[in-house]
Structure 1
Amino acid sequence: MSSPLEILKKHWNYTQFRKPQEEIITAVIKGDNCVVLLPTGGGKSICYQIPALLLDGVCIVVSPLIALIKDQVESLLEKNIKAIALTSQLSQDEIIIAFDNLQFGGYKFLYLSPEKLQSKLIQDKIKQINVSFFAIDEAHCISEWGHDFRPSYLKLNILKELQPNANFIALTATATQKVLEDITKNLEIENATIFKKSFQRNNLTYQVIYTENYYEKLLQIVGRITDSIIIYTNNRKQTKEVNNYLIRHNYKSTYYHGGLSNQEKNNAYSSWISDKTPIMVATNAFGMGIDKSNVRAVVHINVPNSLENYIQEAGRAGRDGKESYSLILTNEATLFDAENRFKLNTPSIKYVKQIYSNLNQFYKISIGEQPIEFFNFSLQEFCLVYNLKLLQTYNAIKILERENIILLDENYSKKSTLKFLVSNNQLFNYIDKHPKHNNLIKLILRSYGGIFEHYTVINEFNLSKKLGIKKNEIIKELKELHKIGIVNYTCENSDSRLSFLVIREDDYTINRISKNIEQQNNLKFEKLQASISFIRNKKVCRNIMLLAYFNEIITESCGKCDVCKSKTYNSKIAQPLIDQIIKILKDQELSSQQLATILKCNEKQLLNSLKLLLEKNKIAITSQNKFKLNF
């Protein structure tokens, strides 16, 4: 029998174990129930993958993230380790074949979502296979106090009924003490051994930088850092804008968000991981399974939704142990906007009821009916039909999914593709003779580059909006062009698939989950406010404050964060500059950039002087991010 170290060397790029992975692996092999809290990048997956390869039977891994499940299975298959994922795309016959393979084919891993586990067929099949142990990934989802609570996780105790002799390992990267207690209680794990690694990262410096011009500050940051960088933005549009801005200034950058096709995501990731484009601009959709050692800085130009999210994202910097930075770019307008956006985009119970009603109308579901099929679903079209706000509606749909009212399969997402089969000259000759296609063809040429050379993902809905006609008319025109050989067009008329998990009972359906909705909305707002408080803090060492949030108490300041450094700044030395600032602001309101231009002083000294004046309430910031005197 191979040793854990031999397995590690054979399949992974490690040469030795890191603490406490060795202790966790030993405990799992011994048959202990374990709850594991390791910071992001701490090597959680090998804590169950190595024991699974050494023990008889199949390790069943429960994960809430379909994309992460696919990544894990692909990674195992690349190592010639047999693994299967049960996704919503598998038919009943395919599920039966998968379990036959698990029972007789030497497979070591079965990955599935907690929702999939509710299937009676799957439950019966799990009873029939030899299970080595259960691994519960993202275990904080089981706690109502976790930052990503999912009620479906509360039903995972069914696993004890299906396989009474199998043990558990529950894993998470972020959990407070309350969440850890909920994990052991709700999973009914008896005599669990808790493995908890400190969140303290001595090589990581936390800094909050106040600036009115994010783009200019980004150029300064990327100009100083030669290794890899991740820049987290607030939304998909901003991701693309920041990326284009950096490229225009001759930096090698790429971008990543949830709206890209799988191919586009893979291309962006490959380009970044290989250092072809060392700067990655992304939404928080980028991060699952990311393990790159030379990320030297993680920059946030948004307010993280929670400190749990922030510590995970920031922790992607400096995994090689070298000095690295977590930088938050902010200003008062951004902080105000974060709270405002949360309130605008968080669905109330009334709004969730409205969306549920609209969905039933959209698919013509009768009261008392529960259809069993999947429906093609386009969020953009749905919002257009009912005149709904896109983000608020998406959040309402995700609440319905979280509460097991519907299932939204966003990974289904097959995109339409298009390629011109004729030359540029032939195309314009065709337009001259057939002017009815003129507007559409010219719009496509303006909207998509390289469409003569390769197949390009297109969005018919966006094209229809720009031309002011229905999406079906766009599809009809493209099919005509395909038929006569002008283009090669593959039409996929949905962004995702949706199914209904309960019978339609209108308000009663939502009333049953209204308490959960309200509690989760309040909890998410509290977590956002904790992030804002962390950013606004100017007195407590950022390392001390962040660790305290996770019940880890230290007393020694880091000496490196912006708060610690500002305390070493001597206000007496700054007094001449402070006097100059007050004199200039007597007659006008100015931004920090304008002050720097007038005073021709060191930027750091200016910002520290402005901080001192703000703390003493001598100056204030206007809604235009300018400074003014308070007297």
Structure 2
Amino acid sequence: MNKPVEILKRYWGFDSFRAQQLETINAVLNNQDVITLLPTGGGKSLCYQIPALIKDGICIVVSPLIALINDQIDSLKAKGITALNIPAGSDQDEIVRIFDNLKYGNYKFLYLSPERIQSKFIQEKIKQLPISFFAIDEAHCISEWGQDFRPSYTLLSVLKELKENTSIIALTATATSKVINDIEVILKLENTTLFKKSFYKENLSYTILKSEDKLYRLQQIFSKTNSPAIIYVNSRKRTFEIANFLKANGFKATSYHGGLTSVEKETAYKSWLSNSTPIIVATNAFGMGIDRPDVNLVVHYDIPSSVENYVQEAGRAGRDGKKSYAIMLTNTSDLKLTLNLFENAQPSLAEIKLVHSKLYQYFQIAKGEHIETSFDFNILDFSSIYNLKVRKVFNALQLLNNFGIIELNHFGQKRSSIQFLINRNELYNYKSNDNIKRKLLDTLLRMYGGVFEQEVRINEFSIAKHLGSTSQRVIKLLDELNTEEVINYQKSSKNSSLFFLHPREDNLTINRFSKKIQQVLQHKYNKLKTLVNLIENDTVCRSIQILNYFEEKSHKDCGICDVCLAKQKVQNISSEVLDIIKTHGEISSRDICNKLNYKERDILIHLRKLLAEEKIKVSNYNTYLLA
């Protein structure tokens, strides 16, 4: 079994490929350098996964997000396909072991971050592997004109040096011609074959809905549809708020964001997939690898950060080809707030330099000193000590990370965990002595398996909910049990692991990248402004605006977006007013309004328009007749 369609059927259960997939796969099998541009839902990952299963050797996949790498590996493992990555914080011995497994363990995929590939040690190890080809996922990160520029991506041309005559496939969902050109030049691709699918979706209706009461609008929208839906919001807190609001109003909804544990994510996803909760309220952490064809509606409750992100997220509706809707809820206050939040959250170059210098001060690192071990870093503590805004610090750290000045292994919360230190018999005797803790211990045993054998992650809030108590009370009881050595209780931590990748040189380090950093900051702002212009422009078809952004020329209106429907409504009113005047010969404006199911204001506007066009006239009795 080595035909692409046979592998597709065996592992993914599909009988045929989508547009451009098979062409891309065949080009990779023929050892060509390839750039594939497929919109969200186009099945980009199959374009390298299937040829990797056919070809001898290991496919190295470069991906920018640890979460995305983990999701891809989990998905492959669930299909019985072998894949590995190098976990954050792995020491040299662990890396040697991983590469030995790759050599002798029949693995087909190695997933790496672009930063990992810059390690000379890992480069030497890659040279020793039988590589089938390289796959560069989210390849738009190569270009400073892409929406998620990652300077480490610009160094990936080293792949051609490590393995001469080894082909590369670069994949992305959103890229302009500038970005595509950068991908080709920076990766040193030769005789590149480009596969590009149009961004036009004839079945997707883009609608910008202006409303001062967005929650009421949500109620209206979901009272008219029962189909699976995604609501995108910009904060983790809001995922819960909107989901709870919908549930309180009789709708079945769940929430999803990047801070959930893998179990919580899987529970929310399966609940949505099975239609137990057909509405999922999520941050943009939800979507990568999501391939549900029957989603009929995507709602943006908050404004996304760019046209690329909007199109990617909206494109998760209508993959089955049926008419679907992408609705963005917004108002004047929203637009102002979004621009203000952006400006307040984006650090200037001077502020980035300040955060950088304070990091060395925070960890007491002397000038010229380079410490190669990681530091435990708490962003809230750091921001508080130096009186800095957390959002600006977060974005400054992201930029420092992206430019290879520091490395942050994760932002996010390490979940709490417990493990029992006494056996079941000892626990039975202990429980009889304390009625208050008995219920807590019983609850722990019911909710979590394996707590005697290993460390198990827990959620204090969920435990409190089962007990009818508060999470603060549960934490206090767990602390007491920990002190009594009944359990080993590790509280959740919001810390990150931070590495300094350069000796302390203060501003000299950043000055090397200052021009590029300023370009990235300006480009982010320009992208947001472009999206705001799309929202405010209600005279040009939404699809045409989107296609123009991606340099696809189209002069044909989609006919189903809010702008097109408004134009059709305008034409309908004028023609219906004319028909009534033709039928009655002479008629008052009041009688015309009584006969038409439109707002009086709109009808009067069209009467004035028809008068200006000299298609009708007004009699001495203030009635209307044909001119």
Class of the TM-score when normalised by the shorter of the 2 chains: 0.7 to 0.9
Can you list the C-alpha shifts for 1:463-485, whole angstroms capped at 9, x where unaligned? 7xxx9xxxxxx999964442237
2:32 alignment partner in structure 1? 32
Can you list the C-alpha shifts for 1:469-515, whole angstroms capped at 9, x where unaligned? xxxxx999964442237876323544321111111111212222221
1:53 alignment partner in structure 2? 53
1:380 alignment partner in structure 2? 380
Can you list the C-alpha shifts for 1:438-472, whole angstroms capped at 9, x where unaligned? xxxxxxxxx93533859x997xxxx7xxx9xxxxx
Q: Is the counterpart of residue 104 in structure 1 residue 112 in structure 2?
A: no
1:393 alignment partner in structure 2? 393
Q: Give the paired residue count.
A: 561
Gaps of 5+ in 1: 431-446, 468-473, 575-598, 613-631
2: CA distance between counterparts of 1:412 and 1:324?
34
2:461 alignment partner in structure 1? 448
Whether the aligned pair in 1 keeps the contact of 2:144 and 2:520 (CA below 8 Å) is yes
Task: Report the AA paired with residue 61 of structure 1.
Answer: V
2: CA distance between counterparts of 1:488 and 1:294?
46
1: CA distance between counterparts of 2:601 and 2:193?
48
Gaps of 5+ in 2: 421-426, 440-459, 575-592, 607-627
5 Å-filtered alignment, 1:121-270, equals 121-270=121-270
Give 1:236 deviation, angstroms.
Answer: 2.0
Greater radius of gyration (CA) = 2
1: CA distance between counterparts of 2:563 and 2:605?
11
Cα pair distance change 1:89/1:411, threshold 3 Å: farther
Task: Report the AA paired with residue 77 of structure 1.
Answer: K
SS in 2 for 1:448: helix
Cα pair distance change 1:331/1:418, threshold 3 Å: farther
After superposition, the CA RMSD in angstroms is 3.3
Cα pair distance change 1:423/1:605, threshold 3 Å: farther
Whether the aligned pair in 1 keeps the contact of 2:432 and 2:438 (CA below 8 Å) is no
Q: Is the counterpart of residue 293 in structure 1 residue 293 in structure 2?
A: yes
1: CA distance between counterparts of 2:242 and 2:601?
24
5 Å-filtered alignment, 1:312-327, equals 312-327=312-327
Task: Report the AA paired with residue 64 of structure 2.
Answer: P
Whether the aligned pair in 1 keeps the contact of 2:411 and 2:494 (CA below 8 Å) is no
Cα pair distance change 1:609/1:161, threshold 3 Å: farther
Can you list the C-alpha shifts for 1:321-354, whole angstroms capped at 9, x where unaligned? 1111000111111111111111111011111112
2: CA distance between counterparts of 1:423 and 1:326?
58
Can you list the C-alpha shifts for 1:222-246, whole angstroms capped at 9, x where unaligned? 1212111111112222222111111
SS in 2 for 1:319: coil
2:115 alignment partner in structure 1? 115
Cα pair distance change 1:294/1:605, threshold 3 Å: farther
1: CA distance between counterparts of 2:226 and 2:367?
60
1:349 alignment partner in structure 2? 349
Percent identical: 48
2: CA distance between counterparts of 1:611 and 1:153?
55
Can you list the C-alpha shifts for 1:248-271, whole angstroms capped at 9, x where unaligned? 112111112233333332322222
Whether the aligned pair in 1 keeps the contact of 2:174 and 2:308 (CA below 8 Å) is yes
Can you list the C-alpha shifts for 1:555-589, whole angstroms capped at 9, x where unaligned? 11111111111112238959xxxxxxxxxxxxxxx
Moved more, 89-98 or 310-319: 89-98
Task: Report the AA paired with residue 7 of structure 2.
Answer: I
Moved more, 169-178 or 354-363: 354-363
Whether the aligned pair in 1 keeps the contact of 2:413 and 2:493 (CA below 8 Å) is no
SS in 2 for 1:451: helix
1:471 alignment partner in structure 2? none
Moved over 4 A (4+): 417-425, 474-478, 485-488, 571-574, 602-612
TM-score calculated relative to the size of structure 2: 0.83
2: CA distance between counterparts of 1:192 and 1:335?
41
Whether the aligned pair in 2 keeps the contact of 1:58 and 1:110 (CA below 8 Å) is yes
SS in 1 for 2:284: coil
1:14 alignment partner in structure 2? 14
5 Å-filtered alignment, 1:397-436, equals 397-410=397-410, 413-417=413-417, 426-427=435-436
Cα pair distance change 1:311/1:608, threshold 3 Å: farther
TM-score calculated relative to the size of structure 1: 0.83
1:561 alignment partner in structure 2? 561
2: CA distance between counterparts of 1:87 and 1:424?
44
Moved more, 476-485 or 129-138: 476-485
SS in 2 for 1:195: strand
2:93 alignment partner in structure 1? 93
Cα pair distance change 1:513/1:275, threshold 3 Å: same
Cα pair distance change 1:70/1:428, threshold 3 Å: closer
2:2 alignment partner in structure 1? 2
2: CA distance between counterparts of 1:268 and 1:604?
43
1:435 alignment partner in structure 2? none
Cα pair distance change 1:483/1:120, threshold 3 Å: same
